[in-house]
Amino acid sequence: MSAKKIGRGVKAALLAVLVIVLCGCTTSKSLYLETDRNDRIRITLDTTDGHDMRYVDNLLRISYEGRDELEGVIVSGEGYEDFLDRLREDYSFRKESEPFSYEWCEQDGETVFLCPISPQRAGMILSSASPFESIRPVVEKLSFSIYE
């Protein structure tokens, strides 16, 4: 076997390994927002499967193939907990704890999510026209944090 053929074989093997490694990679997108109460929030979405997010006019939109799947607003500051308590009085929310703690309910064909970001300070309210089981995987691609 010639050295040229061996070199090609090694290159092909290295390329195959590189493709396998790259296929296992994940991608994400983060948005950094500041509330009117000066809470600095980072929202991150796993975009590996093609989902995208944007924040325009104080509204977070998560889309897939150009179609919005979720919309959300950040609620923060004084009265945050009172507002959530009023929502809980009007709707029957269920709690989930994986991959992060959140509450959800389905009402009139719409799913609403309450996602705490910082206890007693800030959270996100998300809604979707899709049923919970179909939109749950999208919500679980999100993560929230306070940054300094």
Domain containing 109: what range?
26-146
pLDDT of 53: 96
Which DSSP helix (H) or strand (E) runs through 28? strand 28-34
> Domains in the chain: how many in total?
1
Say if residue 104's pLDDT is above 70: yes
Q: Are 75 and 124 in contact (CB under 8 A)?
A: yes
Q: Specify the 3-state DSSP secondary structure of 138.
A: helix
Tokens of 4: 């040229």
Nearest to 59 by CA among 69, 40, 72: 72
Is position 68 within any domain? yes
pLDDT of 21: 43
Q: Are 37 and 22 in contact (CB under 8 A)?
A: no
Say if residue 148's pLDDT is above 90: no
Is position 45 within any domain? yes
- The predicted model scores a pTM of 0.79
Is position 43 within any domain? yes
Which residues are paired to 30 by β-bridges? 44
Q: What is the pLDDT of residues 111-124, one digit of tens each?
A: 999 998 887 788 89
Mean pLDDT of 120-146: 92
Q: What is the CATH number of the domain that holds 68?
A: 3.40.1000
Round the average pLDDT of the chain to a whole number and report it: 84
Nearest to 146 by CA among 52, 56, 55, 43: 43
Residue 95: count other Cβ atoms within 10 Å of its Cβ.
Answer: 9
